[in-house]
Chains A and B, each alone.
Chain A
Amino acid sequence: MTPLLATVSVVLAQIGDSSTQWVYVAAGYGIVVIGIAVYAVLVIRRGRKLSRQLDPEDRRWMS
């Protein structure tokens, strides 16, 4: 991931200062927001899958 990013940033370094900076910002936000969103979706999907295997009265904590 980082070598790729380094190449991308080196290539874009010639375009101009502000756009180079935006590449870093976009990369940082992109990777992290997508990564965490994927994790959250996986957690929720796992919850649904597990929940379906249980009877309704077993699903809830202390209810």
Chain B
Amino acid sequence: MTTPTEPRRSSIRPSDVVTDATSAPTPSAAAPSVRATSGSRTTRVLGIVLVPALALWAYLALLGSPADVNQGEVVRLLYVHVPIVVIAYAACVLSAVASAVWLWKRTQWWDLVAASAAEIATVMVAATLVVGSIYGKPTWGVFWTWDARLTATAMLMLLLLGYLAVRGIPASVEVRGRRSAIVAMLFIPNIVIVNQSVVWWRSLHQDPTLFRLSLSPSIEGLMLFTLVYSFAVGLLFFVWLLIHRFRVAYLQDQVDAVGLDLALEERREQGWDDGWAPGGAPS
């Protein structure tokens, strides 16, 4: 390939790097508002909103809402379980969609969104499995059952771990993006097929005593409000976390690019010292 995959890198001159490196410790007067964080104005506003929102969520979920007739206090796990499940699946879908769009548009933004969403999805799916197990013990009598949704979620977790493994392999930005995008694109058909196959599997020998209907059919009043509210707060939190994670991914790419430039620069200087021409043929 003759065209550079990243025009940014080739546009940096050695002199730029040197002056940048020397001016880095002193805060630049040109951009005083740019703090050394992954936050932005949006995340700050969201964060300020989230603090009381999460406090209200904790109050409603743990104290404010009533205990359930059938499940007792255990029903409170619903208000943490449902939002996390929704975030997990939303993040997965977002990652797959962003990967598809990346294959079409090939811009860094979509690549980073896909990667950030996938990492958050992994954390959330892990949390889903943990809370689900804890929720399952008092309601079903076991931590784990080979229920369709549980099994499909566990498989999804493994798929996500595979994605992160592919993502973690050192490669150029373009190659990394292509590999991981193809893996992520296959999330959605996989989830559908896994889910369908497990539903069929379980319908062959389902143990009905295990599945006493866990939700009382008429969930209403404050419980319903708490559920919907926790759902909304969860999505807000997801957006906040996603922006942060996106910016961290961007910063990581920036650091890698600058690091590569500096290393190249160092190598070039060594080459001059050894009497090699900068554009000389490598042995």
Contact = CB atoms under 8 A, between A and B. Distances in A.
B250 interface: yes
B38 interface: yes
B37 interface: yes
User: How would you classify the secondary structure of chain B's contact residues: helix, strand, loop or mixed?
Assistant: helix
A39 B34 contact: no
Interface of A: 1-2, 5-6, 9, 17-18, 20-22, 24-25, 27-29, 31-33, 35-36, 39-40, 43-44, 46-48, 50-61, 63
Interface residues of B, number: 48
Nearest to A58: B254
Contacts of B23: 55
Contact of B73 (A25, A51, A61): A25
Contacts, number: 127
Nearest to A26: B62
Given A2-B133, A25-B73, A54-B258, A43 B251 contact: no
B229 interface: no
Contact of B241 (A2, A17, A43, A59): A43
Nearest to A1: B130
A16 B250 CA distance: 52
B36 A60 contact: no
A43 B73 contact: no
Nearest to B31: A56
B131 A59 contact: no
Interface in B88-138: 109, 123-124, 126-127, 130-131, 133-135, 137-138
A36 B84 CA distance: 10
A56 B34 contact: yes
Contact of A39 (B30, B39, B123, B258): B123
A24 B127 contact: no
Which of B35, B62, B80, B252 is most buried by chain A, counting CB atoms within 10 A of its CB? B80
B248 A50 contact: yes
Interface of B: 20, 23-24, 27-28, 30-31, 34-39, 61-62, 72-74, 76-77, 80-81, 84, 109, 123-124, 126-127, 130-131, 133-135, 137-138, 143, 241, 244-248, 250-252, 254-255, 258
A21 B72 contact: yes
A61 B244 CA distance: 12
Given A31-B131, A40-B244, A48-B38, 13 more contacts: A5-B137, A24-B74, A24-B134, A24-B135, A24-B138, A25-B77, A29-B80, A32-B84, A32-B127, A44-B39, A50-B254, A50-B255, A57-B30
Contacts of A22: 73
Contact of B245 (A24, A43, A48, A55): A43
A57 B248 CA distance: 15
